């Protein structure tokens, strides 16, 4: 055998052995990724109360100065008495005057009551109420994965895609690398 052939055989044997070692290392070494089976976004409902105000027209009754309606009763009684005095003569005239005064007093009282009830004013007031705004905030992702034939679940701050990388110790890398 000549020298070049011997060198070629030795180099070939070394190459085949090295290739086999690399292939065996790839088969025996730990995987570089865990396979993602499912990703579920996790959301939190946030309720934020706030004041909501608006201007409202309000109708109010003006303050009553003659609460017992004495003026209406007195004026009604005088007018009723005068009208009753115009009817009949003698005792009938006195009875008609008294009846007119009583009826006029009652009527005057009711007229003043109706006038006071209708005596209103309108003003604008601010009315406020508390309303609650709701919104959703994404807090993470529940990720179901498979690693070495075992299924696990972990919460992550981002959607990992189809694979979760592993570190040199075979542990999941759960944080995103910032580039």
Tens of pLDDT along 13-56? Answer: 666 676 665 555 544 555 789 999 999 999 999 999 999 999 99
Q: pLDDT band at 151, cuts 50/70/90?
A: very high
Only one residue has tokens 């009938």, namely 92
DSSP H helices, the chain, are 3-28, 70-85, 91-117
pTM greater than 0.75? no
d(CA 99, CA 84): 7
* Residue located via tokens 């609650």: 132
Alpha carbon 170 to chain centroid, angstroms: 45
Quick one: which of 130, 137, 131 has its CA closest to 45? 137
CA distances, 6 to each of 11, 16, 17, 94 (Å) = 9, 15, 17, 161
């Amino acid at each position: 055998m000549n020298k070049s052939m011997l060198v070629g055989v030795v180099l070939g044997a070394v190459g085949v052995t090295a290739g086999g070692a690399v292939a065996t290392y790839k088969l025996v070494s730990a995987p570089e990724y865990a396979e993602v089976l499912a990703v579920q976004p996790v959301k939190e409902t946030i309720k934020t109360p706030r004041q909501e105000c608006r201007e409202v027209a309000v109708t109010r009754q003006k303050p009553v100065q003659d609460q017992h309606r004495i003026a209406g009763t007195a004026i009604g009684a005088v007018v009723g008495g005068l009208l009753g005095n115009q009817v009949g003569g003698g005792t009938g005239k006195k009875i008609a005057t008294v009846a007119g005064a009583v009826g006029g007093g009652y009527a005057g009282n009711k007229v003043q009551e109706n006038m006071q009830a209708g005596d209103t004013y309108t003003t604008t007031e601010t009315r406020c109420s508390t309303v609650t705004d709701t919104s959703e905030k994404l807090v993470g992702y529940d990720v179901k994965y498979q690693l070495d034939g075992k299924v696990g679940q972990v919460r992550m701050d981002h959607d990992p895609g189809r694979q979760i990388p592993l570190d040199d110790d075979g542990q999941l890398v759960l944080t995103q690398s910032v580039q």
